[in-house]
A = this chain, B = another copy of it.
């Protein structure tokens, strides 16, 4: 099975704490294998994501911080993986997603918090635009993964979850497993 890992660039602990947490939660919920915070440590974000996996399943979800981004990208490519950089300036997702999926290779998905240095546009095998409007890396990642998994990810059930939601028309219904 192909692995998709998210590399979050340019995270600033105080300022981006919440948005980066959302990026991590989306990576987990939409079927990616992990998230890596480039070049910075942030124990709060890491802890929040680990706790979510503990409760809702996917204890094997990779959460790493303080990783050297450039080295990580270069290593990923050396090992035969594909690098996708999400940017509104890239090629339209619907024009490349089938090709990317058909490669059947592990994918590193780069999302930036601040302006992404030019070198990542160069290193990426695909610069992919989830639309050509400014919006959100959280949304871009969600839609990329949703397209990649063709919507099936929203039905994924994780065998190690302690809580499982039972869909209902009003209110909240959950099953607790110990």
Contact = CB atoms under 8 A, between A and B. Distances in A.
Nearest to A90: B167
A46 to B, nearest CB: 16
Given A90-B169, A118-B171, A127-B170, 4 more contacts: A19-B19, A26-B135, A29-B134, A142-B143
Interface in A144-176: 146, 151, 153-156, 164-165, 167-174
A167 B129 CA distance: 8
A76 interface: no
Given A129-B165, A139-B142, A142-B139, A56 B134 contact: yes
Interface of A: 15-16, 18-19, 22, 25-26, 28-30, 52, 56, 88-95, 118, 121-122, 124, 127, 129-136, 138-139, 141-143, 146, 151, 153-156, 164-165, 167-174
How many copies are assembled? 2
A28 B169 CA distance: 28
A169 B85 CA distance: 11
Nearest to A124: B170
Contacts of A165: 88-89, 129, 132-133
22 contacts: A15-B18, A22-B22, A25-B135, A29-B134, A29-B139, A30-B139, A88-B165, A89-B174, A90-B169, A92-B167, A93-B154, A94-B151, A95-B167, A122-B170, A131-B154, A131-B155, A135-B142, A136-B142, A139-B141, A142-B143, A143-B143, A143-B146
